Structure 1
Amino acid sequence: MSTVLVIVTSPTLEGFAQVRIEDAIYLDYQAATPVDPRVAEAMRETMLTDFANPSSDDHALGWKAHQRVELARAAIADAFGAAWGGLIFTSGATEGNNIAILGGARNAPPERRRVLISAIEHKAVLEAASALAAEGYDIERLPVDTSGCLDLDVLEALEGTTVAVISVMAVNNETGVVQPVRAVAQWAKRHGVFFHCDATQAPLAMEVDLSSWGVDAASLSSHKIYGPKGIGVLYLADDRPWTPRPLTFGGGQEQSIRPGTLPTPLCVGFATASMLVSREGAAERERVASLRDSFVASLRDLDPGLRLTAPSGDRHPGNAHVVFSRADAADLLALLQPVVAASLGSACTSGVIGPSHVLTAMGVSDSDASRCVRFSLGRFSDAAQLAEASHAIAKALNKQRGRALPA
């Protein structure tokens, strides 16, 4: 029997193959950040010189690669307020989330069969929790208020002695809303619950100090902070109530929690990106927030009825999640191609039919949700780009209005 390989090309990409990166205005930093040239150079040097397996302990080249990995681990720990021995390298935050939630629940005392997650978690958390539901765990979604912030009154009213894991993100990946991590940590400590935090979006939104946050576990991803894709860390606090059970098995690397040969260049790239965020983050956040606010003002000039989905409370400085007063968001983004790259929401829910679960949890109507676009700015955004983006958006809105879209 012969095998036929069929390659399907999306029709939306026709004619775009020759688009130059420098011609596009990138406003999707919360999906993935460009690799900083300084990070790329550090990785290039490592690829050429430290190619040996860092687990090869019988020769000097293996020792040197191992040293590069451990120096990278120490740099990441220092950047994010973690103990050096508490960082486990992973392939990214999705894997870290799965280890913490699945492994954390499976290694909990037998009387703890409940798992709490906020209603606005990333799909990597929601799906991990769903897998536990199939194993007989009770999964409870914690509500958020209309601003997208976790309702702490509901959490405080819950009985916690039968809870295995609670998972609440630090910063929402769609609306950019900052969550009350320290308050959740205090609740978890009082009830002896394993607290995991998906901190993927946090480093570009705030200063991250994992030790002082009080979490038992936290997940981070390199490609959200101008580093390479395919590498992340899972932080495990020294005083965690128990250790997650491993999901994979192999040669014993990473304390046997996540075995496998470590990609030395990716570890170095993540470390370099982490050091840059630690050193330059405060000034960068201030600059990006100012650009974001100016950009939102320009959008309001185009559409006076435009509003932010989460106007109150702390938000990611680069996040502009807006509701247009009269526009179809999906059609608008299509009209903006290939000039402006933005998104409807999380990249990990692309292709899902229906409104975002985040917006639904906030009480946003289906009609409003269909008019929502997430623009996210970052390190390489500038005023000239945003002016050009506003011009392109104005043209797209005018084209939509020419079609007599319903109000």
Structure 2
Amino acid sequence: MSLPFAYNKNHSTIRPFEASKNRPAPCMTLSPQLPVYMDHAATTPLDPLVLEAMLPYWQERFGNPSSLHRWGREARQALQASRQTLANALGCQPGEIYFTSGATEANNLAILGLGPVLKSKGRHLITTQIEHAAIASPCQWLESQGWEVTWLPVDAEGFVSPESLLAALRPDTALVSIIHGNNEIGTVQDIQKLGALLGAHNVLFHVDAVQTVGKLPLTLSALPVDYLSFSGHKIYGPKGIGALYVREGCPLPVAQVMGGGQELSVRSGTENLAGIVGMAKALERCVQNLSVETPRLQDLQAQLIQAVELAVPDAILNGPRNLTQRVPGNVHFSFPPAEGEALVLHLDLKGIAVSSGSACHSAVIEPSRVVQALGKSEAIAKATVRFSLGRDNTAADVQRVATVLPGIVNRFIKKGNP
């Protein structure tokens, strides 16, 4: 099986491929050149050591963790060990982690599940205008049920100001949910500062950390965060698995999936044991290599931003230019008057995989509401392309983009429209 990245013999450090001959071909490309995958914010390839860890739980160790016999006990031990591994990686207690089918479910559990628990305090929520749909949609649903939702604005780089958050707080504010690293423009909020402000006012705080877990150092015991969602497939783990962190002592959300009482009845259903084992191994690997991989990605980010701006002088960078305030590997540009979806398709024909925005909405041709929230025009919000770098990317990939991109963008500039 060809894999898009390789490891040294002791598996302690991730080594990007120098030669790209082993990269798997995309499902559709007309490019005779070797493919370049720059859509790691959408999903990541499975780490081969993660696959190795998962295989036994699809085969000989197939027991149900709720069963009393030997197979069940063995599965339960693996479940407990994985929870401990995740807790070690995140700096929290294993009993604070509740497994879900993914981050979307974890986000929904935090918003919809806490609604009935917190309504005695009030029916007011605060979130932002740049949340992922997995937060925005349940908040909108609660609005339809009579809750009030304050949608905080952001500045030109996508940051929430502590002043605007403080001004939005009310005596009946039950919960605040703010995305840590934005999935489109990569802006990383100052969760420490925002959480401390909320703690001082005794308001519970949920964070969508899908794009930052495994990419930035997080010690949950030291962060003023009460609930936090994350996913397996963004960190070189499997799809179909995620978790919600609930700080000890905080109210547990009402189950949205009911049945056998698994996960302390917060989320019923037979646990996806292979997925749980895989996610734990994947996060462990990411944290082990954080000190090497994060600066490597930031270096490639800087190269890509510079290369794109040199190649396409009219390109507009969205999100912060300061890379310490940006998700490692995230680069987000607008190329008006082209439409982002058209650029994505033309880049794909050249063997370069990117996105026009959130993977969950990439098939919908509409302006990015995140970019519009920055105060930018509809034309700019329609012309977006997200490059998200990962383990398999190299400086040669950056140069490839810089070589191919001007010809594609110039076609649209000459036509005046896509």
User: Is TM (by shorter chain) over 0.5?
Assistant: yes
**1:307, distance to aligned residue in structure 2 (A):** 3.2
- Residue deviations 1:236-256, cap 9 Å, x none? 00132x221111211111010
Aligned to 1:178: 188
**1:385, distance to aligned residue in structure 2 (A):** 2.4
> Which residue identity is paired with 1:31?
A
Identity %: 36
Aligned to 2:86: 76
Aligned to 2:11: none
Aligned to 2:408: 396
Query: What does 1:192-211 align with in structure 2 at a 5 Å threshold?
Result: 192-211=202-221
Shift in alpha-carbon separation, 1:161–1:284, aligned structure 2, 3 A: same
Aligned to 1:354: 366
3-state SS of 2:159 partner: coil
Aligned equivalents of 1:23, 1:46: Cα separation in 2: 34
Aligned equivalents of 1:393, 1:162: Cα separation in 2: 50
Kindly indicate whether the alpha-carbon contact (under 8 Å) linking 2:187 and 2:326 is maintained by their aligned counterparts in 1.
Answer: yes
Query: What does 1:163-174 align with in structure 2 at a 5 Å threshold?
Result: 163-174=173-184
Aligned to 1:55: 66
Kindly indicate whether the alpha-carbon contact (under 8 Å) linking 1:303 and 1:325 is maintained by their aligned counterparts in 2.
Answer: no
Query: What does 1:5-404 align with in structure 2 at a 5 Å threshold?
Result: 23-57=34-68, 59-240=69-250, 242-313=251-322, 314-324=325-335, 327-338=338-349, 339-401=351-413, 403-404=414-415
Aligned equivalents of 1:17, 1:315: Cα separation in 2: 31
Aligned equivalents of 2:347, 2:214: Cα separation in 1: 26
Kindly indicate whether the alpha-carbon contact (under 8 Å) linking 2:337 and 2:412 is maintained by their aligned counterparts in 1.
Answer: no
> Which residue identity is paired with 1:346?
S
Aligned equivalents of 1:188, 1:104: Cα separation in 2: 17
**1:289, distance to aligned residue in structure 2 (A):** 1.0
Kindly indicate whether the alpha-carbon contact (under 8 Å) linking 1:42 and 1:272 is maintained by their aligned counterparts in 2.
Answer: yes
**1:139, distance to aligned residue in structure 2 (A):** 1.1
- Residue deviations 1:385-404, cap 9 Å, x none? 22223323233234434x43
3-state SS of 1:48 partner: coil
Aligned to 2:8: none
Shift in alpha-carbon separation, 1:30–1:321, aligned structure 2, 3 A: same
Aligned equivalents of 1:329, 1:126: Cα separation in 2: 22
Kindly indicate whether the alpha-carbon contact (under 8 Å) linking 1:161 and 1:191 is maintained by their aligned counterparts in 2.
Answer: no
Aligned equivalents of 2:28, 2:343: Cα separation in 1: 21
Kindly indicate whether the alpha-carbon contact (under 8 Å) linking 2:29 and 2:348 is maintained by their aligned counterparts in 1.
Answer: no
- Residue deviations 1:250-271, cap 9 Å, x none? 1111010001101111111001
3-state SS of 2:331 partner: strand
3-state SS of 2:229 partner: strand
**1:282, distance to aligned residue in structure 2 (A):** 1.9
Aligned equivalents of 1:163, 1:232: Cα separation in 2: 27
Which of 381-390 and 119-128 deviates more? 381-390
Which of 212-221 and 363-372 deviates more? 363-372
**1:156, distance to aligned residue in structure 2 (A):** 1.3
Kindly indicate whether the alpha-carbon contact (under 8 Å) linking 1:143 and 1:361 is maintained by their aligned counterparts in 2.
Answer: yes
Kindly indicate whether the alpha-carbon contact (under 8 Å) linking 2:162 and 2:197 is maintained by their aligned counterparts in 1.
Answer: no
Aligned equivalents of 2:267, 2:194: Cα separation in 1: 26
Shift in alpha-carbon separation, 1:17–1:330, aligned structure 2, 3 A: closer
3-state SS of 2:135 partner: helix
Which of 390-399 and 97-106 deviates more? 390-399
- Residue deviations 1:61-89, cap 9 Å, x none? 11001111111111011111121100000
TM-score scaled by structure 1? 0.91
Aligned equivalents of 2:240, 2:127: Cα separation in 1: 25
Aligned to 1:12: none
Aligned equivalents of 2:412, 2:137: Cα separation in 1: 36
3-state SS of 1:230 partner: coil
Q: CA RMSD in A?
A: 2.1
TM-score scaled by structure 2? 0.88
Kindly indicate whether the alpha-carbon contact (under 8 Å) linking 2:340 and 2:382 is maintained by their aligned counterparts in 1.
Answer: yes
> Which residue identity is paired with 2:236?
Y
**1:17, distance to aligned residue in structure 2 (A):** 5.1
